[in-house]
Amino acid sequence: MQTLVTGGAGFIGGHVAEALAASGHDVTVLDNFEPYYDLGIKEHNVETGREAAASSAGSYELVRGSITDEELVAELVADTDVVYHQAAQAGVRKSVEEPAKVNYYNVDGTITLLDAARAHDPQRVVVASSSSVYGKPEYLPYDEDHPTEPVSPYGVSKLATEQYARVYAELYGLPTVSLRYFTVYGPRMRPNMAMTNFVSRCLHGEPPVIYGTGEQTRDFTYVEDVKRINEQLLTDDSADGEILNIGSTDNIDIQTLAEVIRDELAPELDLVYDEARTGDAEHTHADISKAADLLDYEPTVDIREGVRKFIDWYHENEDWYDPLVRQS
């Protein structure tokens, strides 16, 4: 099957592209290599995808370009059976600094893609959304009916993204599914995430830095679970037109996460606290019953097992992945 993964050189997109290529599908990756973080990590994502294709009957093609390029996007979508729309300007803090840029890539780019899909009628468009759409909790865990009042421009952009996908499904009959990811982590994750920073600092004898009180909670979702549900949607139409939470149900506060990592790597270190970051949500926790009902979704990796797996991977790949090693 011919697939297009926008943002396919990024963290989640790279894993989705790898999984599809490994299963023998033909994968085209569209990515503009925005230098939001070290592009060497994106190059590794691309190489991993190519290796997956080489070991199967699939293919892998990288196209360097922007999701906002109407002509290019239309050309790529025209030859595609299923689109995975992962392209976005990531980062809550980045969105606070540059809201217009985030809107341009995340909202305008999504409309560009959906218009191309409307014209060329692929079997499905799977859209990456985020738990950031919820904002301040009225109750936890969040179900999909919870009010959406995002507290950052990034959250606003993701809410617009999924709502455009819903409207295109209702108005034009375009099969879309939007997945609200809850803090996805794992190998090749962005190096500016809390978990990566905790591990890197501990490995180098530096105390983990917690922004805020550490009482903030997160529902961390291991990337293998995200890969699996995306690959399932290649052929499963059970959730067409829907918006679904994709989380782990495994909620942990940031201080405990830092302690788990510290105790594993450098138990002699103290924790350090700094000012809270603007735009960060206080709590996230997923109710995944809708995804379970429609797609039999069930997370397989809890946070403590996932942290150990990530630390093992980190040790094996520290030479090219660790930010402090790269800076030295």
Residue 105 annotated as catalytic: no
Which of the residues 154, 164, 185, 297 is marked catalytic?
Answer: 154
Q: Are 225 and 248 in contact (CB under 8 A)?
A: yes
Q: Are 64 and 8 in contact (CB under 8 A)?
A: no
* CA–CA separation, 167 and 30 (whole Å): 24
* Residues identified as active-site: 154
